[in-house]
Amino acid sequence: MGVTVRTAFRRIGRALAACALAAATALVGVAATGSAAHADGCYTWGRVLRQGMTGDDVRQLQIRLSGYPGYNAVLGLDGSYGPATRSAVIRFQQAYGLAADGIAGPATQAKLYELQDNDCTPVNFSYAELNRCNSTWSGGAVSASTARFNALVSMWKLQAMRKALGSVSINISSGFRSYSCNSAVGGASNSRHLYGDGVDLVGSPSFCRLAQQARYHGFRNILGPGYPGHNDHVHLGAVGGWSAPSCGI
């Protein structure tokens, strides 16, 4: 049976309209799960990120995944999506039951949006918890902006650690200290608290459990039970060694 030219054009028109509708639906779905259209008070990614890419958006991803470097490792915040970043993405995806493909696509970005507040801190931690010394973050061993940034990275490490411990509360007794605040509490002259990345933990889980778990979340400085002056808390920092003899560390 023959088909008229008019009928053929109608069929082509309907097919094009269907394709346009499908494309629009797909875009809406992406926007709802992590594209540039996603409303977020802190930071919004505008593309899917994968190994080989570079840019500030990659660095923003690395900050939020700094707690997923693996045992005795630290994730670089260099804006380069290399094998270490891909592995951190996979660990994050596994932790939250996402498809573990190592690609920071809409689902992974959407989960990160859920985990951060509008000031870029993770939902379970705040700048106030990391600084009971002063409101300006000044007077330490680094600039106020650097101390504040270091504290932010520590919070994202703690967020990952909290998840690994079963989403239990983690109690912080001390964070950033100026030189005067550090002196007032008898802190070491080279304390990581002066740099903004030092964090002291108390309460539960047990000190040994905290110290042992911290080894997987980017903390190079872990001091706990058995180390002089640390039987009543666990100290975590970005630089230094591990020593918690009573916990096998």
Candidates 217, 230, 233, 235; catalytic one: 230
Q: Can you give the pTM of this predicted structure?
A: 0.84
CB atoms within 10 A of CB 30: 18
Q: In the prediction, which pLDDT does 41 show?
A: 82
Q: In the prediction, which pLDDT does 21 show?
A: 34
235 flagged as catalytic: no
Strands 221-223 and 242-243: parallel
Cα–Cα distance, 111 to 246 (Å, whole number): 37
* pLDDT values of the chain reduced to their tens digit, one per residue, 249 residues: 344 444 343 444 444 433 433 333 333 333 333 344 344 789 999 999 999 999 999 999 999 999 999 999 999 999 999 999 999 999 999 999 999 999 999 999 999 999 999 999 999 999 999 999 999 999 999 999 999 999 999 999 999 999 999 999 999 999 999 999 999 999 999 999 999 999 999 999 999 999 999 999 999 999 999 999 999 999 999 999 999 999 999
Cα–Cα distance, 165 to 159 (Å, whole number): 10
For residue 190, the number of C-alpha atoms closer than 13 Å in the C-beta half-sphere is 4
Cα–Cα distance, 218 to 181 (Å, whole number): 26
Q: In the prediction, which pLDDT does 8 show?
A: 43
Q: In the prediction, which pLDDT does 245 show?
A: 98
Is-contact 66 218, C-beta < 8 A? yes
